[in-house]
Amino acid sequence: MKQTTLKNPGEILHKIETMEKEMFHLRLSVLRKLTPSPKKVVSLKGVFKNLDISDEDIRQAKKTLYSKVGV
């Protein structure tokens, strides 16, 4: 690493801020490489093309899903 002579506190603070930004970007790039990529989003559009859902179907689904909660 190159040694430079900094003359005033403003230069020192600027250099520290620059180093902090570089470290932040380095951390981000390392994390991106270490974390697995998210799974591909699968669209369900068109799977239920000709399906008719009635209000009664919705009521039954709510009753089943929320029977223990009491909604």
8-53 pLDDT, tens digit per residue, is 888 889 999 999 999 999 999 988 888 877 778 787 778 877 888 8
Q: Domain-by-domain residue ranges, the chain?
A: 1-36
Backbone angles phi, psi at 34, to 5 degrees: -85, -30
**CA of 58: how far to CAs of 15, 19, 43, 48, 50, in Å?**
62, 57, 22, 15, 17
Q: Given this model, what pLDDT does residue 24 score?
A: 94
Query: Structure pTM?
Result: 0.41
Contacts of 62 (CB under 8 A, 6+ apart): 71
Amino acid sitting at position 34: L
